[in-house]
Structure formats: C-alpha cells, structure tokens
Structure 1
Amino acid sequence: TKELMGIMTMSELFLPFLFPAGPHVICDVYPKDLYVEQNSSVEIVCQTSCSNNGKVFWTLNGIHISESLSKTINATHTVLSLRNFTQSSAAVQCHSSYGDQLLGGVTIRTYSKPKNITCVLHYDVNKPNGVPKLFTCSWEHHMDSSQTNYTILKYVNSNSSVEICKSQGVNCTHNSTRLADDILDYIIKVRAKTQYWETDSDPYVFDPHSITKINPPKNLKITPSSEHLSVKWDPDEPRCQVKYYKVGKSTFWKLVAGISVFTIEEVESCINYNVSVRCASERGLWSEWSPEKTAFTKLSRSRIRMGLWRKVAELGKNGKRKVHLMWKGIPSTCREAFLVKQVAYNDNTTTGNYTYTSCGSSSCDVDVDHRSHRLYLTVSDSGALLDSVYVPAVGDASLPEVWSIKTTKSRMRGVIQVSWNVSEKPVSSYIIDWTHDGCRYFWKETTFTNATLFGRTPYNITVTPLFNNISGHSIHANPFCSSMGVPEDIDVKVEEVDDKSAFVKWDIKSQNPCNDVDTYTIFYEAQGLQHNVSVSGSEDGVWLKDLKPNTHYNVRVQATGDNETNMSSKVHFITNKYDPRLIKALSICGGILVVLVLSIGLTCAVQWKKFNDKPVPNPRLSSVAKWLTQSHAK
C-alpha cells in the first residue's frame, strides 16, 4: 500500500542515521519520544536486524497486540499501525518469539485540543456601561496547564490570524480590544503549545454583540408593604430578571422588559425575602446577579388565617370584668405592635367612645363593665383591622346559652370527649376552649354539640355559643383528665432486714398530674430464682417473707395503671445470717446468767468475809488447858 511504501521510504532515509553500518547489528523501535493527538493514528517501526529467527510480535502495556495491526515490510523492518489512539500514556514494545527476545520499545503520549471555548466582551466593574473594554475567553483542556502555553488567535480570514493574548492558564483577558467595534462575525482559536507538541482548537465563531455582558444593576432598593415588595434598581436596560426567594425555599424568577422597577406580589407575612437583579443588552449575555438584599415583609391580613377569642372573668366588686384577649395565626416572627380598640353598647347602639389598649404579641388584658362590648384587634402603626370579638352584657337573657356539659374519657388513651346540649335559641356555631394552667389557652370552632380533645393533663373546659358574630353565655366543665398514667419515677428502699424477711418501701414522683396506679408488683430474685408479690396501688410498702438467711437479693417495683407500666431500678440487700430475735433472747439470757453468777459470787464473798472476821480463841484461856495442868500435878 501507499502507507507501507511511505514507511519503507522513511525507513530507508532514517535507518542509515539511526543504525550506522558496522560489525554490530542492533534492533530498536522508532520514532522515540512520540506524542500524538488523541483519537489519531500512529505508526511505529521495529528494526529486527539483530534477530533473524523467530516471529515478531508487539505488546501494549504488557498485553499482546493483534497480529492484524502489524505488517512486515522486509526482512529487517516491521510496522505497527494503531488507529484512534486514546490512552494518555502507553508503553509499546517489539518482541521476537525466538527466546522471547525484547527488540525495543517506545512510550506513546497523547495530547488533546482545547475545547468548550467561551468568550465575553465586558466592562470594568468600577466603571459605567458603554463600550466594552475587556475581552475574556476561557476553555477546557485536560492537560497540565502549568507546562502549556496558550495563545488566543483571531482569524481575519482563513489564512491570516492575529494574536490577542497569551496565558499559561485556561483563561485569558485582553484589556485593550476593539473587538466590540466589529460588525461581522469572526473566528477565535486557542493554540496550546509545549516543547513536545502544538495543537489548535476547533474554531469558535461569534457575533460581538451576542457575547457582550454588561455590569450588574446597582442601587437596589426594596420597599415592603403589607401586600407586596417593590423593587427598584439602576440603570434601565432592555431586559432584566428579578430573583427572589425565602431562605431554604424555592427560588422564583420574573422577567422585566424596559423598566427598572418591579412589584413582587403574593408574598408571605413577616418573613425575610432575598432579592437580586440581573440585566442584559438587547442581544447580549446576562450580567452577573447584583448583590442580594434582604427585605422583611409586613403583616398582611389576607395572607394569614386569623383566630381571635377571649376569656371573660366574673364581675368584680369594682364593677369591672377582666377580659383576656388572645389570638393565633399571626406568625411569631411578626414585628408589628398591636392595639385593642374597644367600644361599649347601650341598647344595641354603640356609645361612640373608644378606648385603646396596647398589647403584646399574642394576648392582651382589658377591663370592661357590665355592658356588652366589642373588642377590635388592630395593627398599631397602620391601624389595619385584623379581627373583632364580642363580650356579652351581664345577665343578658336574649343571648343563646348552653345549660349542661359532659366530659368523658375515651377508650383511646389521651382523648377526652366533650358534649353539651343544644341551645334553645338560634346558634350558628360553638367555641370550645380549654386550658390546663389558666395561662395558655386553646380553642376551636365547631357546628356540632360535641368535640374531641387530646392530652393527658387536667383541662378546664368552656363552651360558648355564637350567633351572627355575637357570643352568648358560656358554660364551664370541672377539671378533667383524659387518662391516668403511671408515675415516671419510683424510688425503692429496703428497711428492717431480718434473716427471713425484709420491708420494701417506695416513693413515687411524677410531673404529670394525671397519673394513678392500680397495682404495685414487687419482684425479688436470689440465686437465679425469681418471686413476686402484688399489692394495691394505695400501698407504699410490703413485707417480703420466707427469705433465705445470709442471701443476696435484687428487688424491683413495677407500677401498673391505665394500660401502662413502669419499672423501678434494682435495689440490693442481704438478709441476716441469724434471727435478730434469737440474738436478742440469747443476749437477755446471757445477761441474766451474768447477773446470777455475779450475785452468787458476791454472796459467797460476803459470807467468806464474815467468816474471816470472827476472832480465833486463845488456848491459854481455855478450860481444857486448866484440866490438863491439874491432871499433871496429880
């Protein structure tokens, strides 16, 4: 073939220089230091002069290459052809099958073209928009850029190019270009060059006006109101986009044409919105986003689900009633101050005299007299009305009233079922409110004469009928617990331990006022054997009997009530070796014996002393002596 003929010609030209004639015939592979472009073809020549025997074969990174890729040109030269070579670096070696002889080798390295070129005509960020003064191109190149020199070339025609800028990185900026003045499209190429290879990228064709990028908008100003956010910026541009979002939520974009003001509708109340703007010329690229600004929205009645209610105390001696006004649905993040405006009624007609009370964030206390009143909750700074509630006059018999209320415990734990009778007067709905501490109230509206409450605390429950936004007279239920649980803590102590018995006592502690114990079960274990005894929930101690002397016991107490159980921690004790009563009896007997011995000893000592104290008779004074003397005289 023509390619093989070319290789042969190349071999004939270079062999005399690579392998000089002489007595020593050598083998080798050439060319050396081979660099090829990725996905291109490469041919390697193996000189086999030193090996006339055996078959020539090739390996790539130690792996045999197909024989179909190798061609023998003549007796001393073999050519390897590799197509679409992609490996970044590979070792190719030529071998002879005779003695598995290595004839030579070469390392092939590949390089790639720069790709994904993008160019932008832009402005100095500190200067106004006008004629672009900067030209920046960037590209991708999967090579070691620190060893590569890049040049951006602008082609005036197919044969003539002009260097725009040079770089050793994958981007380059030219700060004195007149490219923006060009009307026609033109071509840009990026040339990459090292000491071993050189390559040009594919051409990048663009219209100067389509790659113009203006500076971000400035002087961004956001004005919040109760219903929307008003956004303004400088300067006016043909196209702009407004980006806004809540922290951690989805981002929204709105396209604005030819103006520098935009209104963001349907914003949520009392929340931070981050806003930024970017613009573009008629055909150019989008600018960078302006620095984000944060705006806090105001409270909007139409954006919240407002709930307003009140608790009315009995009429005091001073002729006043305390009304605790409370509301829900207003986000806790709102910063608005609230004001209560109240007006009294005389014969269903307002007096026209309003009184005002400043309030907290979720409740307010006001005083009213015996007459009926309406209380209006408003926003202090704007006066916007949020809601109102009615307080009936004392003893007004024309208003609806609930006469009886019933609370029952459901089979489900933690559930209270409340029911009441139907009012004799027309009613549109009922408000049921409940509290467990008199400070925090919960309430809901229903059209039924029953409701279900959840919780395991003793609730004070009130039901109030409503008709046409006017509240009637309320009825109260006694404190009621939905269920009775067991105490959280059981403290166990062991007292009065004998050899065969011990008294176990316990104390209970609980943060839940709704708790009760049906039974206590005492588990005690020794030497792997477990026993238990149960007592009533009213007990706080029990005697454990028939224990083994001198034995280590573990004891626990389990409380059971309302389908709940709780177990105490283990407590250890050791029974005595002997019955304390025996020791006491022996002690008493020993004491008596000691007293008896001491008494006898003392008696004997006294008698002995008395015996020793008697005088001994003098024999000379004895009458017997006189008799003996007279007999001797005779």
Structure 2
Amino acid sequence: MCNGQRTEPCNVFPKNQYIEVGSSTEVVCQTTCVRGRVFWTLDNSPIDESLSRTINSSHTVLTLRNFTHHSATLQCHSADTQQVLGGTTIRTYSKPSKISCMLESENQHGGVPEWVKCNWEHQIISPLKINYTLIYEMPLKPKTELCHSQETNCSNKSSSGPIYMFTNATFTVRAKTTAWETSSDPYEIDPYSMYKIIPPKVKVTVLPDRLSVKWSRSGTYRICHCEVKYSKVVSDGTPEVVLKKTLGANESIGSATIENVESCTNYKISVRCAIDKAPWSNWSQEQMVLTKLNKRHVRLRLWRKIAAPEESEMRKVHAMWKEIPSTCQDTFTYTIKTTPYKDDVPGVNYTDISCDNSTCDFDVSHHAHRISLKAFQKGILLAEDSVYVPATGKSLPQVTGIQASPLGDVILVSWKAPVQPVSGYMIDWTHNGHQYYWKESKYTNTTLSGLLDKKRYNITVTPLFEDKTGRGTQAIHICSRVGDPGNVTITVDPNDKSVFVSWDTKSQEECSGTVINYTVFYGTQTGPMLNVTVDGTRQGIHLKDLSPDTQYRVYVKATSLTGTNRSSERLFKTKRFDPRLLLALSVCGSIIIILVLSLGLFCAIKWKKFSEKPVPNPGLSSVALWTSPSHQKGKGSFQPFDNPSESLFDQIYTEATQKTSTSPLATSYNSNPAGGQTEEYTEAATVVAPEEQNEKPVGQRLCSPGESTALLSSEKGKHSPYRSQSSVESPTSMSNKLCKRVPVKQLEKSTPVTVYVTLDMFEQGQSR
C-alpha cells in the first residue's frame, strides 16, 4: 500500500473473494494515489492488458473469465514506480458431483426399502469447514432433507417414510461454508436401479461326485442376476470359482451344480444376487460341506525305491503310493503282493502283505518282480496298481544330462530322454532319505513344488515303459533355495602401521550362498570408512599405511549371488612401535650381554688363577741325580751349582721366629752347645753328587737373615732346584741372629748313595 500526492489511499477490492470454478469475476483497483497507467499480475505473472479497462482517472477494472485456479493472488502495480498499489486473494469452489445412492430394506425378509445411502465427489480443498445436506425430492411432494454430513457420504432412514418404487426420485447435495454455498446438479435415479436386495438363503446337498446348490431370492419380481462362489478350504490360498446364473422375473428359486470336486475335501459356498442394473446384495452366509469319496478319483499310483542287495542276495524294497485322503470318513485297507515278472521262481512263497498306511517295506530276491497294490473299502476292492522291480545287475535304459536348479521356492528339473521310446517318467525326491515325494510326467522337464526352505534334495528320474521301468538317474544335493552367505567372524593382528585381518564363514543352514567376494571395511573412529575387495577364495588380507597408536574399526561383508552377510564390527589399536624392531633389539641386546658376561667370566677366572698361584712345595719336587759337567748339556737333566768349589750342601736360611724342625739327617751333622737356649730354624739337607764324593767336606753354617738375603740375591742367576723365599719379618729383627758353620765329616768313599732332605714350608701369617 502506498499514499500518493492525494490523501486518498490506493487499494484493490473486493477482498478475499470465493467464486465458483469456471465462472467470471471483476476486480477494481483504486489509483487515486498515483498518476499514470497501472498493470495487473496474477501470482507474480503479468496479465494481458486487454482484460483491464479504466473507468475514470481513479479506478481500473480487471475482468477474469473462466477462472479455474484453486487459489491465486491478484495485485495492482503502478507502471511508473513499479509499486504495488493493492492486492487480493481469489479462491474457487466446485459443486458436488457424481452422486450415487443405494436403497436398502430394514426387513431381512424383503419389502419396500426404508434406508438410503448416498455418496458423491467434491473436488475441493478448503480451509473452511464444509457442511453437506442430502436432499430427496419426489413428484408432487416437497423436498426432504434426508441427512447431514461433513464427509462425502451420508446414510439415514428416510424421515418421510418408505421410498416409493413406482416413480423416479431426484437427489441433490448442498455444500455450505461461512463464505460460500453451492448445490450439485439434481440426479434423477430409478429406485429399482439403486435397490440392494437382501442376501439369498442357500442350501447345499453333497452327492458322490458333485455338489448341488439351491437358493431362494427375495424382493420384487424383476429379472435377477446371481453368482455362486465356491472354493476348497485349505491354507495354500486356493482360488475361488464363481458360477453365474440369471433368474427370470417370475423365478424365485435358483439352483446350480458344482462339478469336478475333489474327494473328501471341505468346500465353502455362498451366493449373492442383484436386480438388473442395481447393486449386488451382500454374500450369503458361507455353507461348509465335506465331499464324498469318488471312486473315479482314486488313483493309487504305486512307486518303489530299491536298496542294494545284501549278502543273502535279498533286496529291501520301499513301496509307496498315493493314499486315500484321511479326511474320507470310512475305513480303508491296503495289501501288497510280489510275483515273478514272467516265470515262477522255485522255492519262493508269494503271500499278501498287509499295510496300514501309504508306505510298506519288504524283501525281494535278485530276480525280476512285479509288485501289486490293492485298496479295499469295507472289504470291497476300490482300486489297484502295480510296478516293476528289475533283476539285479540287468542293463536298463536311463535318462542322461539331468539338471536341477532352484528358482524361487521351486526346483526346475530337466533331462534328456533315452533312445528307447518311453511312456513317461517318474520323478521322486527326498531331503532326508526316509520321506519321499514323487510325481509322474510325460515331458523331459518338471517343476518340484511344496519343498522345505533351504534344504538339500536328492532327485531321481526313472523312465517308464509299457510294463517295465528303466534305471534311475540321480541329481544329488540340490538346494530348494540358496540363502545368504554364512555368518562371518573376523580376527585382527595389528602392528604399528599395518594389520592382518582374517575371517571365517560358517553357516548353520544346509544351503548357504557361495561367497563370490569379500569386502573389508576399515577406518578410524571419526574418519571415513575405506574398503578393499578380494575374491571368495581369500581368508585374510594385510591392511597397510595405517597410523601408529591409533584406534581403528573394521568389519567384513561377504557377497554371494543370493545376498550378503556382514560380520560384527571389531575395534583394534595399532601399536606404537614396530614389534619386529623391538624383537631385533632384544635379540641383539641379549647377544651382547651374553658376550660381555662370557668375557668378564673368562677374565675373572684368569685373574683368579694368576692372583692365587700357590707357592711350590719342595715336598712335591721330583728326585733326580745331578750329572757331571759333561752331561750338563743333556736334555732333561738337572744343572749343578756354578761354583763347584763350594760345599755340596746347599745353604739353608731360616727365620729366627720359627721353631726348629730338625730331621734325623740334620741332627747328625749339626752340633750346638747351647741348643737349649738358642732356637734353630734350619733343617739341613745334603745331596752329594757321585762325582764330588771325594772332595773335602764343607761345613754347614747358620746365618742371620741379613746375610741370608744377601746370599739369596747373589745367587739369583744360579740354577738351584729351590726358589728363595722371603720372610715376613723385617731385616732389622733378624740382625742379631747368628751364623755358624757346622763341621761335617768327610764322607767315606763307598758305593754311590743318593741322599735327600725335605723342607717344610710355613705359610705366611702362621704364628711363629
């Protein structure tokens, strides 16, 4: 809205108007606030200027003809300023149409109808609540409002009494809101064309080979059409069959015969009727009946399965036949008799075998036989059949190229006929080897139905001849339906930057789909899922380029021709470091530690041996003769003293603090006047070489430690059988010790004798 140079505002009127769809309307735009030309838009689309005219300088009128929009916004604009001067909303409504009514009688025995039920169509979407009124009008009678409703249907008992059937009636529907009101066109209807009669009464009679249905209709004497509906009472959804009958204007009783009903089967029957061009009545109450046994329908169709012969050459035969339905309310018995195919087999007694149900087991010999089956009803022969049992090892024709494949919930079986002409084929199948099903076919293909879901079946096709049978050809382990792949279980073995994912597929069902490929989905907790696809023969895969020390999730989906199955999702975390590096470092470290410990132990042992080297014990020295100078160069001999002028007796130095330990030999050469006061620590030892026994004796002398030390040090380079030993005492403590020479008598010349002395060595630290 805007205000122009004048004080009067611009506007569009009328506001928010409702018009009937397809009608015309005029809209005025007041242009006192602007100067110049104006134009119109409908839902923002320009309108042809020819539809607009100017009455005077202040008003412009727009004419809309045949307006069909459900709802539209109309606006008036200034051509100079492009401003909106005003606007309005136009909505349309329509009249109710296609009225259809039906008259019904309240009395179930018929008569004049009292109830009226009508419905109609109204193509409108309105925010306002619509109230409908159904108006009934007859000639020479005022209009009557039969019922009120806010839906597009209405039913009520006529308030003006019974609707007369001898003349046409007119019906009108009025629709009214707070903004508009409209009425439908009047519909004139023949009362008989909308008269719905009551359902007929039905009676069914069961005959040995058919059903007889009779019913009585009600209503006026006009042409009446009726339908008889019947079907078997089974759970597999057997289709219904409808028979049509027409009754004349003077016929009140209708009848129909249902042929070809199955023996001992429950059927349900119902009937409905309608006057010509009128609505159908409701179906009558269903009648449930059980048919009788029809002897023509009894077809035992005997068949057999033959086991391999035993050691006694007897074969087990499993005979089976189509049993008379158990729903037949009578008593039936079966007998089987085996006879030789042509000539009697001597020594065999053929007797009748009584069987209570549709199977029977017995033994036959390896000869050819014919098995005969007879069925009796109350002792009267009802039906019979026979089948051929070939001899053991006899060559028989058979079908070839048998193929079986599942399709939906059935199995399609096909094969190639043998060379010999056949009269038909017998197909038998089983899923457990105990319960058999069989059927006969004239063609080289058949369909097996009624199978258990996802079970493996063994199917056998046997050709039939005039009075013989061929050899059966078998197709084993044919699934009735292939299911999805089995359950997938996965295991993960993560490293730092990779993981090995392995899986296993197991199914609890016999027939699970063969896996074509596996798809491995993996990713971080927050990142996108990546996937890798491998063929169905793989059972594991390495996933690489992962981040160390990161949480991942993974699952595997198995895909077959019949569906998919996926494992549960597994979480795993990659390791911080490569475990192979840690293992290598551990092995190298262990080797280095072992080498270091071994080297240390070796050094310790060597040091211990070096530091703990024992002092040699002269008592453990070997005794040997000293050789002459001419033999000094001999290998392995002891070297004599360097100075041959010295005494043959080696000087022995003792420590003053030790007690004297004198051997008997030393005593004979030692004389000490003051032996009781002076302690001697020397044990004399003399070894006389044979070459020096004639030389002068040399006396043994005892010296102080100082002298002993000087003598020992001066004789380092001489070859002596004994090493000098150090004293633990200091040289000053030994300075007062005496050194004396002990005279020794000269040895007489005699037979060479070897003399030796022993020297007891005291360990350091021992008390003196």
User: Is TM > 0.5 for Structure 1 vs Structure 2?
Assistant: yes
**Which letter maps to 2:318?**
H
Query: Quick one: distance in 1 between partners of 2:402 and 2:156?
Result: 81
Contact 1:311/1:323 (8 A) holds in 2: yes
Residue matched to 1:389: 386
1:593-608 equivalent positions in 2, closer than 5 A: none
Tell me how far 1:42 sits from its aligned partner. 1.2
1:358 equivalenced with 2:339 (yes/no): no
Residue matched to 1:46: 29
Query: Partner of 2:50: helix, strand, or coil?
Result: helix
Residue matched to 2:112: 131
Query: Quick one: distance in 2 between partners of 1:155 and 1:510?
Result: 75
Tell me how far 1:389 sits from its aligned partner. 1.5
1:113 equivalenced with 2:95 (yes/no): yes
1:211 equivalenced with 2:194 (yes/no): yes
Q: 1:252 to 1:445 in 2, by over 3 A?
A: closer
**Which letter maps to 1:189?**
T
Query: Quick one: distance in 2 between partners of 1:461 and 1:106?
Result: 83
1:91 equivalenced with 2:53 (yes/no): no
Contact 2:425/2:461 (8 A) holds in 1: no
Tell me how far 1:96 sits from its aligned partner. 3.0
Of residues 11, 20, 26, the one that matches 1:37 is 20
1:184 equivalenced with 2:167 (yes/no): yes
Q: 1:623 to 1:108 in 2, by over 3 A?
A: closer
Residue matched to 2:302: 308
1:257 equivalenced with 2:238 (yes/no): no
Contact 2:204/2:211 (8 A) holds in 1: no
Tell me how far 1:366 sits from its aligned partner. 4.7
Query: Quick one: distance in 1 between partners of 2:290 and 2:151?
Result: 44
Return 187-196 or 365-374, whichever deviates more: 365-374
Contact 2:398/2:462 (8 A) holds in 1: no
Q: 1:54 to 1:220 in 2, by over 3 A?
A: farther
Counting matched residue pairs gives 492
Query: Quick one: distance in 1 between partners of 2:93 and 2:419?
Result: 90
Q: 1:224 to 1:190 in 2, by over 3 A?
A: farther
1:280 equivalenced with 2:282 (yes/no): no
Q: 1:372 to 1:165 in 2, by over 3 A?
A: same
**Which letter maps to 1:287?**
S
Contact 1:224/1:296 (8 A) holds in 2: no
Q: Deviations over 1:93-123 (max 9, x none)?
A: 2333243344433322211101110111013
Residue matched to 1:556: none
Tell me how far 1:345 sits from its aligned partner. 6.5
Tell me how far 1:206 sits from its aligned partner. 0.9
Residue matched to 1:64: 46
Residue matched to 1:505: none
Q: 1:260 to 1:366 in 2, by over 3 A?
A: farther
Tell me how far 1:442 sits from its aligned partner. 8.7
**Which letter maps to 1:365?**
D
Query: Partner of 2:167: helix, strand, or coil?
Result: coil
**Which letter maps to 1:376?**
L
Query: Partner of 2:192: helix, strand, or coil?
Result: helix
Tell me how far 1:171 sits from its aligned partner. 1.7
Tell me how far 1:269 sits from its aligned partner. 8.3
Of residues 106, 123, 137, the one that matches 1:142 is 123
Query: Quick one: distance in 2 between partners of 1:510 and 1:54?
Result: 86
Tell me how far 1:66 sits from its aligned partner. 0.6
Query: Partner of 2:55: helix, strand, or coil?
Result: strand
Q: Deviations over 1:348-399 (max 9, x none)?
A: 99x9996531124xx332568999765326497998956511467xxxxxx9
Runs of 5+ consecutive residues of structure 1 not aligned to the other structure: 1-22, 393-398, 448-456, 483-487, 490-508, 512-572, 579-591
Contact 2:701/2:742 (8 A) holds in 1: no
1:459-474 equivalent positions in 2, closer than 5 A: 469=467
Residue matched to 1:241: 227
Contact 2:134/2:145 (8 A) holds in 1: yes
Tell me how far 1:263 sits from its aligned partner. 3.8
Tell me how far 1:33 sits from its aligned partner. 3.9
Query: Partner of 2:123: helix, strand, or coil?
Result: coil
Q: 1:145 to 1:222 in 2, by over 3 A?
A: farther
1:512-523 equivalent positions in 2, closer than 5 A: none
Runs of 5+ consecutive residues of structure 2 not aligned to the other structure: 1-5, 248-252, 406-412, 443-455, 479-484, 487-505, 509-578, 585-597, 621-654, 661-679, 685-699, 704-737, 744-768
Residue matched to 1:4: none
Contact 1:400/1:427 (8 A) holds in 2: no
Contact 1:95/1:102 (8 A) holds in 2: yes
Query: Quick one: distance in 1 between partners of 2:131 and 2:474?
Result: 89
Greater CA radius of gyration, 1 or 2? 2
**Which letter maps to 2:53?**
K
Q: 1:76 to 1:212 in 2, by over 3 A?
A: same
Tell me how far 1:131 sits from its aligned partner. 2.4
**Which letter maps to 1:326?**
M
Residue matched to 2:373: 376
1:526-541 equivalent positions in 2, closer than 5 A: none
Q: Deviations over 1:473-516 (max 9, x none)?
A: x989999999xxxxx99xxxxxxxxxxxxxxxxxxx999xxxxx
Query: Quick one: distance in 1 between partners of 2:165 and 2:426?
Result: 77
**Which letter maps to 2:111?**
G
Contact 1:404/1:420 (8 A) holds in 2: no
Q: Deviations over 1:514-548 (max 9, x none)?
A: xxxxxxxxxxxxxxxxxxxxxxxxxxxxxxxxxxx
Tell me how far 1:204 sits from its aligned partner. 0.8
**Which letter maps to 1:110?**
T
Q: 1:90 to 1:374 in 2, by over 3 A?
A: same
Q: 1:215 to 1:383 in 2, by over 3 A?
A: farther
Residue matched to 1:13: none
1:340 equivalenced with 2:326 (yes/no): no
Query: Quick one: distance in 2 between partners of 1:214 and 1:300?
Result: 38
Query: Partner of 1:209: helix, strand, or coil?
Result: helix
Query: Quick one: distance in 1 between partners of 2:372 and 2:439?
Result: 19
Contact 1:402/1:463 (8 A) holds in 2: no
1:622 equivalenced with 2:682 (yes/no): yes
Query: Quick one: distance in 1 between partners of 2:433 and 2:34?
Result: 110
Return 377-386 or 249-258, whichever deviates more: 377-386
Query: Quick one: distance in 2 between partners of 1:411 and 1:597?
Result: 87
Query: Quick one: distance in 2 between partners of 1:479 and 1:30?
Result: 87
Contact 1:38/1:84 (8 A) holds in 2: yes
Query: Quick one: distance in 1 between partners of 2:172 and 2:295?
Result: 61
Q: Deviations over 1:551-576 (max 9, x none)?
A: xxxxxxxxxxxxxxxxxxxxxx99xx
Instruction: Compute the RMSD of aligned alpha carbons.
Output: 6.6
Contact 1:376/1:385 (8 A) holds in 2: no
Tell me how far 1:216 sits from its aligned partner. 3.5
Residue matched to 1:564: none
Query: Quick one: distance in 2 between partners of 1:140 and 1:277?
Result: 31
Tell me how far 1:598 sits from its aligned partner. 13
> Which structure is higher in strand share?
1
Contact 1:407/1:416 (8 A) holds in 2: no
Query: Quick one: distance in 1 between partners of 2:431 and 2:8?
Result: 108
Tell me how far 1:296 sits from its aligned partner. 8.4
Q: 1:89 to 1:412 in 2, by over 3 A?
A: closer
Contact 2:402/2:475 (8 A) holds in 1: no
Residue matched to 2:639: none
